[in-house]
Structure 1
Amino acid sequence: MAALSSCGSGSEPAADGTVTLAFLVDNSQATVDTAKALTDAFMRSNPTIKIETETRPGGSEGDNIVKTRLSTGDMSDVFWYNSGSLLQALNPAQTMVDLTGDPVLRNVQEDFLPVVTQAGKVYGVPGGTAMGGGILYNRKVYERLGLRVPTTWAEFTANNDKIKAAGITPVITTFKDTWTSQLLVLGDYYNVQAAVANFAQDYTANKVKFAATPSARAGFEHLAEVHAKGYANEGFGSATADQGMKMLVEGKGAHYPMLSAQLPPLMATMPQAGTDVGFFGVPGTDAATHGATIWEPAGIYIARTSEHLDAAKKFLAFVASPAAADAVNKAVQPAGPYRVEGAELPDDAIQVAKDLQTYIDKGATAPALEFVSPVKGPSLEQITVAVGSGLTPPAEGAAQYDDDVEKQAKQLGLAGW
């Protein structure tokens, strides 16, 4: 990727009439590859606009770079950053171009807009695809044992009992990578919202708690059950996410609570991952309302300091178009559906992306809680490791998490805390 040069957001059009846009993205391989596919395709059809892409680190270091550059007026014209609650910390009303009602958004799916909206104003278009957070499962194991995709937790438990009896690990658990311990809690949010429609709003206002809300506490209970019933693999405390994915693809484990984005990177070395692994949402209590929790794509935004607004909007309109999805499909295997009307998954899309598309087509999805509430405690992964290892009872773990989020909510200065 090209480093940001002197012809960034404050430059005048060149003598030949070309304009150069600066585009800041994180340095993960999937983002870099997606950004390259987008910019190459855009520049082919817009020869008077040149895009120079700059990378930044991910994680908190990258967050700080974005915040600093926005606050000092030194941001690139266009930048790739999280959607959802993290957007709030960027003070978009002061730092970004308001796209509310702009033709740029014409193809953006309506139910994506809330995660790039602050105080009623829309600021971004989707970069990349949605991904599912739920249960990845080995379809060949299911076929061999005559199992059906469960739509309730009771059915899931029954499947696990049959899988265990067949000598296969029912639920792959990889607590060496502590972040993986959170999926049964975070991926259960669809069921929380189905049971308590205003949970995110009330949770943000400190009116409801995980420990006192049965549907929210259920994720912790599921974690405890997996351990108590002996569904986890041996050595789960020292197992890594990479080892877990390998177990799943090879059929040594049947289920893995995980994000669908873990699949595309495996395609080069384990191509069967694309067909042998499927996805279903964490099952709840009611088959009639079965659905899935999704992690929305990042947003692509325009900095208010850009002096090339027309060119930047032209680029965002392209990003949010079926043509952009087609360009990306040639470079990156999508981990889930696009959030753009008319943007289709390729015929050879991995099975998990197709499964997720089915949930979206049925309208049976909810964004993960972190996309609809800024309250997420920093210690969740340590708490879920303890609950999932049988060290902390689930009700106690839920109460610990309620305490954990309180510190963060006060730091954010949220009302009601």
Structure 2
Amino acid sequence: MTGSDQSTVDTSKALANAFMKANPTIKINMEHQLGGSEGDNVVKTRLSTGEMTDVFWYNSGSLLQALNPAQTLVDLTENLDAAKKFLAFVASSAGTEAVTAAVRPAGPYRIKGSKLPDDAIQVAKDLQAYLDKGATSPALEFLSPIKGPSLEQITVAVGSGLTRPAEGAAQYDKDVEKQAKQLGLAGW
């Protein structure tokens, strides 16, 4: 299951098709979901009912803890080996080559051995130089174990100039604390 925006659809199809060509005994069925909070609700519902796909594409910085990963992201049943093989392909230079053939890269590649094409957008090339030097660190959203449910609205308000950045940060801190308490997480 992947997002439904055209770039994500094209990327996931390119990866699935290239993987199936290299592994003809493994079949991948693609599903696409809505983005934003609507897509989050689909993922949560399917996980809680046990009807989720074996592999799904999800923003790891999103409301991951709200998915209850200890209980919902465990056994891949009989498709475990195929799923692991596919994910290894996605994180390989062969995977980035498949994506590059279908979609112009919008950012740098973090996979060793993968090279941006000459026609990549300049910002991707500029960012790649920082990655290659090891001069980067993960964004806060990937370090934080939880996201507040109002993140989308807060970032839109800050990005559009309706809320000052410091005020948005304070709103977000309160939102995360509220979410953590609702989930019963220790230390909040």
Shorter-normalised TM-score: what interval?
Answer: 0.7 to 0.9
Structure 1: tracts of 5 or more residues without a match: 1-23, 98-303, 389-393
One of 319, 334, 338 as aligned partner of 2:90: 319
Normalising by structure 1, what TM-score?
0.40
- Confirm whether residue 89 of structure 1 aligns to residue 66 of structure 2: yes
> 1:29 and 1:85, CA in 2 relative to 1: closer, same or farther beyond 3 A?
closer
Does the CA-based 8 Å contact 1:49-1:311 persist in structure 2? yes
Aligned residue in 1 for 2:46: 69
Larger radius of gyration: 1
Aligned residue in 2 for 1:35: 12
**Cα RMSD (Å) of the superposition?**
2.4
Q: Which has the higher helix share?
A: 2
One of 108, 115, 123 as aligned partner of 1:352: 123
Distance, in Å, in 2 between the alignment partners of 1:400 and 1:331 is 40
Number of aligned pairs? 183
Distance, in Å, in 2 between the alignment partners of 1:40 and 1:396 is 46
Structure 2: tracts of 5 or more residues without a match: none
Q: Which has the higher strand share?
A: 1
> Which residue identity is paired with 1:58?
G
Deviation track 1:293-316 (CA, whole Å, cap 9, x = no partner) reads xxxxxxxxxxx2432222222211
Q: SS at 2:63's partner residue?
A: helix
Q: How does 1:63-212 map to 2 (within 5 A)?
A: 63-84=40-61, 86-97=63-74
Q: SS at 1:365's partner residue?
A: coil
Distance, in Å, in 2 between the alignment partners of 1:34 and 1:57 is 16
Does the CA-based 8 Å contact 1:377-1:401 persist in structure 2? no
Normalising by structure 2, what TM-score?
0.84
Does the CA-based 8 Å contact 1:370-1:376 persist in structure 2? no
Does the CA-based 8 Å contact 1:76-1:306 persist in structure 2? no
- Confirm whether residue 413 of structure 1 aligns to residue 184 of structure 2: yes
Q: How does 1:249-268 map to 2 (within 5 A)?
A: none
Give the superposition deviation at 1:353: 0.4
Does the CA-based 8 Å contact 1:33-1:332 persist in structure 2? yes
- Confirm whether residue 386 of structure 1 aligns to residue 162 of structure 2: yes
> 1:367 and 1:342, CA in 2 relative to 1: closer, same or farther beyond 3 A?
same
Distance, in Å, in 1 between the alignment partners of 2:100 and 2:183 is 38
> Which residue identity is paired with 2:72?
T
Deviation track 1:184-213 (CA, whole Å, cap 9, x = no partner) reads xxxxxxxxxxxxxxxxxxxxxxxxxxxxxx
Give the number of the structure with larger relative contact order, counting CA–CA contacts within 8 Å between residues 6 or more apart.
Answer: 1
Does the CA-based 8 Å contact 2:54-2:79 persist in structure 1? yes
Does the CA-based 8 Å contact 1:27-1:57 persist in structure 2? yes
Distance, in Å, in 2 between the alignment partners of 1:95 and 1:75 is 9
Q: How does 1:298-317 map to 2 (within 5 A)?
A: 304-317=75-88
